[in-house]
Structures are given as C-alpha cells and as structure tokens.
Amino acid sequence: MIRILANDGIAASGKRLLEDAGYEVVTDKIPQDELITKLNNFDVIIVRSATKVRKELIDATPNLKAILRGGVGIDNIDHEYAQGKGIPTYNTPAASSQAVAELVFGHFFALSRFLHRSNRELTKADGEFGKLKKAYAGGQQLRGRTLAVIGFGRIGIAAARMALGLGMKVLPVDLYKDQDTVKVDFFDGQSVDFTLQTVPLDEALAQADYITIHVPGGDLIGADEIAKMKDGVIIANTSRGGVINEDALLEALNSGKIAGAALDVFVGEPSPRRDLLEHPRVSVTPHIGAATGEAQDNIGVELFEKIRDHFAK
C-alpha cells in the first residue's frame, strides 16, 4: 500500500478520496527535525507552507516517489533538485484562486473605508463616537478606480474578474502573455468576456489607484517602483513576503505616498516586524489567503487527482 504523509494536514474531502482509492494517509505531524529519519517510511509527502523539503531531506529519503504542495507556491521545496533525482513536485494552482482574490478585496474595502481601524477604535471610544465619525468620513469607493494586477495567472484573473464586476478598470502585468480573457459570470447564467491586454509594469504603477500582486516570489517592488506610483495608492500583497521591500514600504506609508497596504505575507513569518503590523495604514492577516472551507476542499480534491494520476502512470 502506498503511504502518504500529509504533514501540514489535508481537508477531510481529500483524505477520504485518497483512502477510498486505497492509499494510506497519515496526518500526524512529524517535526521538521525528525523528518530526515522518518520520511523514508512514506512514498509521498504533502506539505503546505510550514514543512520544508530541502536537498538534505530529499537525499535521506530514497523511497520518496512524489512531493505535493497544497497551494500555489513551491518555494519551500527544492523542486528542481527533486526533479533531478526523479521525484516530481506537484502543486494545486487552481484550487484557491477565488479565496485569495476575495481576501484581497476584503482588505481593499477595509482600507478604503478605514474598517481596519474603526473596528478596533470604536469599541474603545468612551464617548468619542463623533470624533471617530469625523476622522473616518473621508473614505473612497472602488468603482471607477484603476486596479493594476501584477501577475496575471489564475489568482490575478480571479482578482480582475472581481474588479470588473465592481466597475473598475484593470491593467494586467505579466511577463509571459500579451493578453488573456476574463469571464465574468452572473447569477442568472449569463456571462461577459473581457479580453485584457497586458501592459508594462511602469505603466501600470503610474496609473493604478489599487495594486495587487500575484507572483511566485522575488524582489519586485522597492523604492524606485514606489516612486512611480500615484500618491495615495493602496497596495496588496498576498503572494510572498519580500516581494515588496518592507523598509521601502514603511517609508512610503509614513510619508503618505502609499495610503494603505494590505499584507497577508511577510518576510519574518511567523514573527513579522511590529512596525508594519501596528502601522495605522496597514491591514493585516496571518497568511490566510487560501484558508476558506471551499478552497481547502478544492485543494484536497486536487491533491487526490495529482496523486491518482501520478501513480496511474
């Protein structure tokens, strides 16, 4: 029997599908420092963000036949090294796109209407209701604004779909495509297709009122890029910590160049820097982009399909 270690967990739907197909699934977490001696008892490992599968672990587990990441990014896996050793790596890029896009817009609404601050401060107001009402009366609406989508893959397209539905203009940025079609579905079964042309990064930064980033990693936004943005822009990062230089971001927040930053990912996870977490212009979440019941079910099903298809070969 093929043994699978879901070391960072797996949705019940995915576990059930795997077990019904005859696989053994173990969800008891093995600490990172013990994996090097215990992982060789398994044929497959499934991870999320917490567990790292590096060269040393791959070398120590010759029985390993596949590595799977429940999510999009695979930067916690030395996947090219594993591939060279004949061990393929799979991820689940389609499963959580809607969940991540909705989180982005949750942050956008919060920052645009100061929800992230008024939700905390009103409960402590002690008669300051009128003062807070005046302080937070200067919000803005998203309709008619311009959204730059940096990285126009599945998640970027999901974000664009929501923006178009809100009446925003969308400027996609992508290194690998010149255009793509965004299908906006309506409750009555009707849909509208929007073919969007990608634009250079500098052009998108200069025009955007809102920016959302969906790339696998890298050093993308620093002081030079921020200088090209509109004053008062709102930016979201739900991709990877470090995509936005945190020192440059903090400086721009303090000056007001950036009016608000939505951060779900950080350089110092799981201990992000306090000056960002506590900044009044920042709305934060603890890396929960894909953390919805629907997304987890989708990830579980996609993991099952990847494993089934791998061993069917």
Q: Which domains does the chain have, with CATH numbers?
A: 3-92+293-312 (3.40.50.720), 97-284 (3.40.50.720)
- Cα atoms found within 13 Å of the Cα of residue 261, Cβ hemisphere only: 28
Q: Which residues are catalytic?
A: 240, 269, 287
Contact 250, 267 (CB under 8 A): no
Higher per-residue pLDDT: 123 or 30: 30
Contact 238, 289 (CB under 8 A): yes
Tokens encoding 185: 């579905």
pLDDT of residue 125: 63
Q: Phi and psi of 40, rounded to 5°?
A: -65, -10
pLDDT of 127 strictly over 70:
no
- Cα atoms found within 13 Å of the Cα of residue 63, Cβ hemisphere only: 14
Give 138: exposed, middle or buried? Use CB within 10 Å, 0-12, 13-18, 19+. exposed
Over range 26-34, report the average pLDDT. Answer: 97
Contact 13, 298 (CB under 8 A): no
Q: What is the mean pLDDT of the chain?
A: 95
pLDDT of residue 313: 79
Tokens encoding 12: 């019940």
pLDDT of 181 strictly over 90:
yes
pLDDT of 180 strictly over 70:
yes
Instruction: Work out the angle at residue 299's Cα, subtended by the Cα atoms of residues 238 and 100, and round it to the nearest 5 degrees.
Output: 20
Express each pLDDT in 102-121 by its tens digit.
999 999 999 999 999 999 89
The CA distance from 273 to 269, in Å, is: 9
Among residues 158, 191, 151, the alpha carbon closest in space to that of 294 is found at 158
pLDDT of 292 strictly over 90:
yes
Torsion angle (degrees, nearest 10) of CA 297, 301, 306, 307: 100
Express each pLDDT in 189-218 by its tens digit.
899 999 999 999 999 999 999 999 999 889
Give 102: exposed, middle or buried? Use CB within 10 Å, 0-12, 13-18, 19+. middle
Among residues 85, 77, 70, 92, the alpha carbon closest in space to that of 10 is found at 70
Over range 30-58, report the average pLDDT. Answer: 96
